[in-house]
Amino acid sequence: KAGVTQTPRYLIKTRGQQVTLSCSPISGHRSVSWYQQTPGQGLQFLFEYFSETQRNKGNFPGRFSGRQFSNSRSEMNVSTLELGDSALYLCASRLLGLAAYNEQFFGPGTRLTVL
């Protein structure tokens, strides 16, 4: 079974631009979460989508948005990029069935550099 895939792997943008990142979850997984990882703040939760609906949201400004499609693929958009948005953006998928816990599987990430 293929793992979580993210595209692109690397991206360089300039301040003020906007960017869209893509994530394809493991087949059968309906939940997709997005995280921002920086050396200073660690892994910070952005939002989670399940069945095309946002279920949870972290404490990020409205410039960060996402969506999920009917095939569970998800995109994340950041508008009006700032230097501080430079980070590794990670996508993770999980099954969210009736199990007592729901293991999360991560993609390789998209390294975004804002100049």
Partner 1 sequence: TQLLEQSPQFLSIQEGENLTVYCNSSSVFSSLQWYRQEPGEGPVLLVTVVTGGEVKKLKRLTFQFGDARKDSSLHITAAQPGDTGLYLCAGEAHLWGANSKLTFGKGITLSVRP
Q: Does 62 bind partner 1 (CB under 8 A)?
A: no
Residue 6, C-beta contacts closer than 8 angstroms, at least 6 positions apart: 21, 22, 23, 24, 89, 90, 91, 107, 108, 109, 110
Residue whose pair of structure tokens reads 């009006």 in the numeric block: 80
d(CA 6, CA 34): 11
Q: Does 100 bind partner 1 (CB under 8 A)?
A: yes
d(CA 94, CA 84): 28
Q: Does 24 bind partner 1 (CB under 8 A)?
A: no
Question: Which of 1, 2, 42, 70 is the binder for partner 1 (CB under 8 A)?
Answer: 42
Q: Does 103 bind partner 1 (CB under 8 A)?
A: yes
Question: Which of 90, 93, 112, 114 is the binder for partner 1 (CB under 8 A)?
Answer: 90
The DSSP bridge pattern shows strands 10-13 and 110-114 to be parallel
User: Judged by CB under 8 A, which stretch of 12-20, 33-41, 68-76, 78-86 contacts partner 1?
Assistant: 33-41
Contact residues toward partner 1 (CB under 8 A) are: 4, 33, 35, 41-43, 45, 48, 55-56, 88, 90, 92, 96-109, 111
